[in-house]
């Protein structure tokens, strides 16, 4: 793939995600970046998010029934996805390395990486039930 031409908007999208821990949707990225780039379009944000995910500079997280979310944190971690509100939380679990080793031993090919998502009901949604 040829080297990409520098884009202020793409760099702003990437930087925005690096400063967040809440896994925003494309619409949230768009809304926040419009303050700095009033003429940016939602299509431009989507294209840049897709490109950054393809390049491995960010993660795209799909939640069942919800919009795609994006994560600028590339350090090894897992996600908890609330099945009610679709909010996504970072979690870090010891022992994933042993799971990777088991997958490598059981796989008919070469396992390079894994992404683990856990699903359930978050604390906020649970507390709404008991209120």
CATH of the domain at 81: 3.30.1490.190
Q: Answer whether residue 26 shows pLDDT above 60.
A: yes
Boundary of a domain, candidates 28, 51, 73: 73
Mean pLDDT of the chain: 92
Question: How much is the average pLDDT of 50-59?
Answer: 95
pTM of the complete model: 0.85
Q: With DSSP H G I counted as helix, E B as strand and the rest as coil, what are the percentages for the chain, rounded to 5?
A: 40, 15, 45
* Cα atoms in the 13 Å half-sphere on the side-chain side of 43: 1
Structural domain for 97, as ranges: 75-131
Count of structural domains, the chain:
2
Q: Identify the band that residue 63 occupies on the pLDDT scale cut at 50, 70 and 90.
A: confident
88 and 46 inside one domain = no
Q: Which of 71, 40, 47, 41 is nearest to 57 (CA)?
A: 71
Q: How far apart (Å, rounded) are the C-alpha atoms in residues 14 and 4?
A: 14
At 58 the pLDDT is 96
3 and 60 inside one domain = yes
Q: Alpha carbon of 83 to those of 59, 68, 77, 80, 121: distances in Å? A: 20, 14, 19, 9, 6
Q: What is the pLDDT of residues 85-108, one digit of tens each?
A: 889 999 999 888 899 999 999 999
């Amino acid at each position: 793939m040829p080297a990409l031409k520098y884009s202020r908007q793409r760099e702003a999208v990437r930087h925005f995600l690096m400063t967040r821990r809440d896994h925003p949707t494309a619409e949230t990225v768009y809304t926040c970046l419009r303050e700095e780039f009033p003429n940016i379009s939602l299509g431009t944000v989507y294209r840049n998010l897709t490109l950054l995910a393809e390049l491995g500079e960010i993660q795209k997280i799909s939640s069942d029934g919800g919009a795609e979310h994006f994560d600028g944190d590339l350090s090894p971690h897992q996600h908890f996805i609330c099945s009610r509100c679709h909010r996504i939380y970072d979690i870090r679990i010891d022992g994933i390395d042993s799971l990777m080793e088991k997958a490598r031993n059981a796989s008919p090919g070469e396992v390079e990486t894994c992404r683990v998502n856990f699903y359930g009901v978050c604390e906020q949604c649970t507390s709404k039930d008991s209120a």
